[in-house]
Amino acid sequence: MNEKYKDLFAPFTLPNGIELKNRIVMAPMTHWSSNVDGTVTDAEIKYYSRRSNGVSLVITACTHVTANGQGFHGQFAAYNDKFIPDLKRVADAIKEQGAKAVLQIYHGGKMSPPELVPNGEIVSASDIPAEQNGVPGKTPRPLTEGEIEEIINAYGEATRRAIEAGYDGVEVHGANGYLIQQFFSGHSNRREDRFGGTLEKRMAFPLAVVDKVKSVVEKYGDSSFIVGHRFSPEEPEEKGITMADTLELVDALADKELDYLHVSLGDFFSTAHRGVDDLTKTRIAYLLEKINNRVPLIGVGSIYSAEDARKAFETGIPLLALGRELLIDPDWVQKVAEGKEDEIATKLDKEKQEELVIPDQLWKMIINRPGWVPGV
């Protein structure tokens, strides 16, 4: 191993005492490759197995906690006990390769395609539709307080299923515009009850989900079970989340005794857009400063080469997640460990779908979205 990359391979102990063998995590990535009924395909299992050997921890694609929370076609489910055997297949495939397996749990809210939810009725914090390329989607129905409580409990039930299926942990998906973020956002949450209005009230739902998950772990799991939370730092809309809002949320989350926080970024070195004084300062720098070592932070975003990872690690971030790069080169970690970082592929070879073990539906999405994955 090249000496300048050795810090990426130092073990890391999470707050609950679980040791990760290195600092590299596989980021959660939607793969559109599950069966229509929410069960797991063999192609998914092979995909996870192929990418779980070098990294210390694998965070799965998101799984929905209620039937009306599905946000994508081809997604495996966690809303009923009948899915436990399939959830276990994914956990086993990851753990057999030596990585910790973390199930990402979420609700799509207004981001759910109407054709994927019962009666086509999509729900959210308020009746503000999602927009895609400037075109508004279907208007969601605002959830009642009783329904909100049911969804909070559903996150808890999904956590219980993860424990029964043998996962090492769960990640609460509060990022990328899904239901938890919809409640936190001043743009999409126009409620006037205990779940909306002030910034503090908009944090009520995200924090209640974390509390529920932790209480379920206490009841059904043990102290070794990992609980993480993912968030997106800013939104472009006028009343959307600002960096200042996120720093308040992160401050509250850091006091929840979680095992990690995970920021969702397209570019690790991106700077804050608004809400803070210094717009030349990176979001990562602001977050590390606010967290102040209370909880580990996972950073992510356009890290492809070993040198990219080294520069990111120099910021003081304790853990780094690779997403698209592990699609391009599943052997990234092993190559760096063996001093073969010059052999890392940083652009997708469009002739190697079979060798890279990428399921057909995911491959189609990659090929049909030029620029999403380098090389396409």
Locus of tokens 């039937």: 67
Do 20 and 260 contact (CB within 8 A), yes or no? no
Please identify which of the residues 47, 79, 106, 178 carries the catalytic annotation: 178
User: What is the spatial distance between Cα 271 and Cα 62, in angstroms, rounded to a whole number?
Assistant: 27
Tell me the backbone φ, ψ of residue 141, rounded to 5 degrees. -90, 130
User: What is the spatial distance between Cα 53 and Cα 94, in angstroms, rounded to a whole number?
Assistant: 8
- Helix (H) / strand (E) element for 355: namely helix 353-356
User: What is the spatial distance between Cα 339 and Cα 334, in angstroms, rounded to a whole number?
Assistant: 9
**Burial class of residue 374 (count of CB atoms within 10 Å of its CB; 0-12, 13-18, 19+):** middle
- N-term to C-term CA, the chain: 30
Locus of tokens 């057999």: 96
Q: Helices 84-95 and 42-51 meet at what angle, rounded to 10?
A: 30
Cα–Cα distances in Å, from 241 out to 72, 86, 175, 245, 309?
24, 36, 11, 6, 28
Tell me the backbone φ, ψ of residue 336, rounded to 5 degrees. -65, -40
Active site residue 5: no
Do 210 and 173 contact (CB within 8 A), yes or no? no
Alpha helices in 29-83 (DSSP H): 42-51
Return the closest-CA partner of residue 281 out of 273, 291, 272. Answer: 272
Q: State the amino acid at position 291 in one-letter form.
A: I
Q: What angle do CA 89, 59, 345 make, to 5 degrees?
A: 105
Q: Which residues are designated catalytic? A: 178
